[in-house]
A and B are shown apart, each in its own frame.
Chain A
Amino acid sequence: MQIVFYSLTILIVSGLLALCLNRFFKPANFIGALGAISGCIVGLISLFIVYNNPASAVLTIPWTVPYGSLSLAMDNLGILFLFLIFIVSALSALYGMESLRCYSGKKNIGSLWLFFNLLIASMVFIVLARNAILFLLAWEMMAISSFFLVVFAGEKKAVAKAGLIYLIATHIGTLFLLVMFGLLGNSSGSFDFSSWKIAPSGFMPSIIFLCALIGFGTKSGFMPMHIWLPETYPAAPNNVAAVLSGVMSKTGIYGLIRILTFLGMPCSWWGYLLIAMGIISGILGILFALAQHDLKRLLAYSSIENIGIISIGMGVGILGMSTHNPVLMVLGFSGSLLHVINHAFFKALLFLGAGAVLDKTQTMEMDVLGGLFKKMPITGISFLIGAAAICGLPPLNGFISEFLIYLAAFKGILGAGSIVFVSLGIIAALALIGAVAVACFTKVFGIIFLGQPRSVLSLEARDPGILMRISMLILAFCCFFIGLAAPFMVNGFAVIIAEVSGTQMMIEYTLAEVIQPLRYIVSGSLLLYGFILLLVFIRWLLLRGRRIESALTWDCGYAKPSPKMQYTASSFAQPIVNFFKGILRTKKHASKINEYFPDSFGFKTETADLFSEKVFNPMLKSVHDLTEKLTWVQHGQLQIYILYILFTLLALFIWKL
Chain B
Amino acid sequence: MYLKIAQFILILILSPFLFGVINRTKAFFAGRKGSPLLQLYYDIFKLLRKGAVYSTTTSKFFIAGPIVSLSAVLTALLLIPFAGQPALISFDGDIVLFIYLLGLARFFTVLAALDTGSSFEGMGASREVQFAMFVEPALFLSLAVLTRITGQSSLSGIFSNARMSSWVTYDPLIILVLGALFIVFLAENSRIPVDDPNTHLELTMIHEVMVLDHGGVDFAYIMYSAGIKFWLFGTLLVGIFLKGYSCGQVTASVVFILGMILLAVIVGIVESTLARLRLLKVPHFLIVALALAIVALIISMR
A contact set with B: CB distance below 8 Å: 370-371, 373-374, 377, 380, 384, 388, 391-394, 399, 402-403, 406-407, 410-411, 413-414, 420-421, 424, 427-428, 430-432, 434-436, 438-439, 441-443, 445-447, 449-452, 516-517, 520-521, 523-524, 527-528, 531-532, 535-536, 538-539, 542-543, 546-556, 561, 563, 565-567, 571-576, 579
Contact = CB atoms under 8 A, between A and B. Distances in A.
B257 interface: no
A394 B201 contact: no
Given A451-B57, A528-B101, 4 more contacts: A420-B301, A430-B140, A434-B103, A442-B107
A404 to B, nearest CB: 9
B129 A576 contact: yes
B217 interface: yes
Nearest to A454: B117
16 contacts: A388-B107, A391-B103, A393-B107, A410-B95, A413-B144, A421-B301, A424-B141, A438-B103, A516-B92, A520-B90, A524-B75, A531-B71, A546-B51, A554-B55, A555-B119, A576-B130
Given A442-B107, A575-B130, A536 B61 contact: no
A442 B129 contact: yes
Given A374-B59, A439-B130, A528-B75, A403 B93 contact: yes
Nearest to B138: A431
A428 B141 contact: yes
Contact of B55 (A548, A550, A567, A574): A550
A377 B91 CA distance: 37
Given A517-B94, A553-B118, A435 B71 contact: no
A447 B60 CA distance: 16
B96 A574 contact: no
Nearest to A520: B91
A586 to B, nearest CB: 15
B126 interface: yes
Nearest to A579: B283
B273 to A, nearest CB: 28
Q: How large is the interface on B (under 10, 10 to 19, 20 to 34, 35 or more residues)?
A: 35 or more
B100 A394 contact: yes
Closest 3 pairs (CB-CB, A-B): A567-B122, A446-B114, A531-B71
Interface stretch (B147-155, B168-176, B239-247, B259-267): B147-155
Nearest to A420: B301
Interface of B: 48-61, 63, 67-68, 70-72, 74-75, 78-79, 89-97, 99-101, 103-104, 106-107, 110-111, 113-123, 125-127, 129-130, 132-133, 135-137, 139-141, 144, 147-148, 151, 153, 201, 212-213, 216-218, 221, 283, 297, 301
Nearest to A399: B100
Contacts of A428: 137, 140-141
Contacts of B63: 539
Contacts of B221: 535, 539
A391 B108 CA distance: 12
B48 A410 contact: no
Contact of B122 (A399, A520, A572): A572
A450 B132 contact: no
A373 B59 contact: yes
Given A427-B144, A446-B111, A528 B72 contact: yes
Contact of B54 (A414, A449, A539, A549): A549
Nearest to A578: B130
B56 to A, nearest CB: 5
Contact of B129 (A410, A435, A452, A536): A435
A532 B71 contact: yes
